[in-house]
Amino acid sequence: MIRILFFLIVVFALGLGFAWLADRPGTMVVEFQGMEYQVTLLVAAVGVAAVVAAVMLAWWVLKSLWNSPRAVTRYFRARKRDRGYQSLSTGMIAAGAGDAELARRMNKQALQNLSSDQEPLIHLLEAQTLLLEGNVAGARKKFEAMLDDPETRILGLRGLFLEAQRESEPEAARHYAEQAAQVAPQLGWASSAALEARVVEGDWDAALRLLERQASSRQIAKEVANRRRAVLLTARAMDQLDADPTAARNTALEAVRLAPDLVPASVTAAKALVRLNDFRKAAKVLEAIWKQQPHPEVAQAYLHLRPGDSAHDRLKRARKLESLKTYHPESSLAVARAAYEAGEYDEARRAIEAVLKQQPREGAYLLLADIEEDETGDQGRVRHWLGQAVRAPRDPAWTADGYISEKWAPFSPVTGRIDAFEWRVPVEKLPAPIEAATRDKVGPAVTAIPVMVPAAPASEKPEKAAEEGTIAAGGKTGAVEAAASPLKAGRETDEAATDGIVPAAAASGDTDMPAKAAGPGRYAAESPVEILPPGGEAESEAGETAETYHQPDDPGVDPNKPPAEPASRFRLF
């Protein structure tokens, strides 16, 4: 638009000039080689303009002829480049849509029209095409080739990071993320992966620095940053608790300030304060977290705040906790356990019955079995409560990504995610659909978990066989032992009588975890169940039959030697 206005202004100025000359008559005399030429002033001006235009036109024609080969070459080069970029764009769209054939064809056209040095995105298109075709090794080589070019280095590290995660190579993934974080600290995926690596290694100071960098660059929200900082401070305080209680106290109190509802932070702060003989402040910290979130670990720390207190002193503390959070299952359960330890069976029974009215759970029934045995010794009632415990929902536990742990941890051992552990009831195996259960004798709807049940003495086996039964409810499988021998015969006999209760870890698929302690007493204590993988029948030491796994008959395989881990397929730079 501006160029058009400028052209019109020039034409208008020329018109005004010629009009001004036309209004002023005059002649111009030119003498050349003895000849005298006389013309008007307007004709002379037009002649001069025509000569200048002719000279400019001639110069343009000569210049065009001189530059024509270069112009033609430039035209065809631009046309080829445009075709290459069009092929590259179409190929990237096809790769994103999952069309491997079109992506491969467009990649070939892009390589014909563009060079990889000219356009580095060709490497990305080729790598994506190889991934679509299933050539993971070739794609990895392409990503590694991108590391040599500073322009595509971050892109190559990102591709290698994703492939390492897909191939379940956490060490390689962390290595590439750390390299990317060094080159570009503003990358969220790189800094998050590097932060998780530092947390897994237990380098809390480096992890806190990375978290501060994330918060300052606004990669994460302020609330998320405060929560993660509290988790990391709690983990550092737990490490400092034995060596430096003062530092552990300051660190844990800072974590409590950032996340008042974080139970491990308050418990750790209370433990540090107890080691510094500040019992009053430790009690205030535990009472504050109890008002917000009643938790068994808080009750355990509060009841045992003073190591020299008697069982009745702990019962008084439990009653105080109940007054702080009235009508809560955890409050009643804390009173029940403290009353049981103090020998106040009536109060313990009333408290545990209040728990069962609000939230029936396995630990409550196991505690009732302990109370029944110690108070009355009625083995029939004991077996009744043990059967109820098998059918009852599991007790809450620290769970992260399907992994059940007895203690809280700052990260998930499965994925490395920070603040992954939650206090909740573990997810158990769901029962089969109704259609599968009512199918015409195709097979069992739910596969039972094989459990080793101790055999009773030979003289008592008929009585045991008449009372024993198998119970499957909500996906849990177990056997209720009939307590053939007297429970007073010894603790081992008592535990054998209740062996058959499948822990929450087995129900969720994690057979490496021991059963969770649900409360005091021989029934509420830990009673791990041996679960054998399927693969054959074997005779156990006690005389019962259970499924077990047989090693292959290969003379070159050592059954006592663990299998060697496969070598990493990623080259670390």
Percent of the chain with pLDDT over 90: 35
**Confidence label for 526 from pLDDT (cuts 50, 70 and 90):** very low
Taking residues 551-563, report their average pLDDT: 47
Angstrom CA distances, 139 to 123, 131, 164, 302, stand at 9, 6, 12, 57
More confident residue, 567 or 193: 193
What pTM, to 2 d.p., does this model score? 0.61
pLDDT over 60 (residue 351): yes
Taking residues 168-178, report their average pLDDT: 84
pLDDT over 50 (residue 474): no
How far apart are alpha carbons 173 and 300 in whole angstroms?
A: 40
Taking residues 509-531, report their average pLDDT: 43
Tell me how far the alpha carbon of residue 192 is from its chain's centroid: 10
Percent of the chain with pLDDT over 70: 74
List the alpha helices (DSSP H) in 98-135.
100-113, 121-132
The mean predicted confidence, pLDDT, of the chain is 76
Query: What is the DSSP pairing of strand 545-547 with strand 397-400?
Result: unpaired
* Bridge partners for 400 per DSSP: 403
Q: According to the model, what pLDDT value does residue 287 have?
A: 95
pLDDT over 60 (residue 68): yes
Rg (CA), the chain: 41
Three-class SS state of 408 = coil
**Confidence label for 450 from pLDDT (cuts 50, 70 and 90):** very low
Pull the structure tokens for residue 377. Answer: 């010794």
pLDDT over 50 (residue 527): no
**Segment 261-296, tens digit of pLDDT:** 999 999 999 999 999 999 999 999 999 999 999 999
422-424: strand order across its sheet:
403-405, 397-400, 422-424
**Segment 110-160, tens digit of pLDDT:** 888 887 666 778 888 888 888 888 888 888 888 888 888 888 888 889 989
How far apart are alpha carbons 559 and 143 in whole angstroms?
A: 40
More confident residue, 559 or 172: 172
Q: According to the model, what pLDDT value does residue 364 have?
A: 94
**Confidence label for 469 from pLDDT (cuts 50, 70 and 90):** very low
How far apart are alpha carbons 282 and 177 in whole angstroms?
A: 41
How far apart are alpha carbons 363 and 366 in whole angstroms?
A: 5
Taking residues 67-86, report their average pLDDT: 84
More confident residue, 538 or 78: 78
More confident residue, 177 or 445: 177
Taking residues 453-471, report their average pLDDT: 37
Residue 240: which residues within 8 A CB-CB, separation 6 or more? 247, 248, 251
How far apart are alpha carbons 101 and 83 in whole angstroms?
A: 19
User: Contact at 8 Å (CB) between 467 and 447?
Assistant: no
Residue 45: which residues within 8 A CB-CB, separation 6 or more? 17, 18, 21
More confident residue, 345 or 17: 345
Q: According to the model, what pLDDT value does residue 151 have?
A: 83
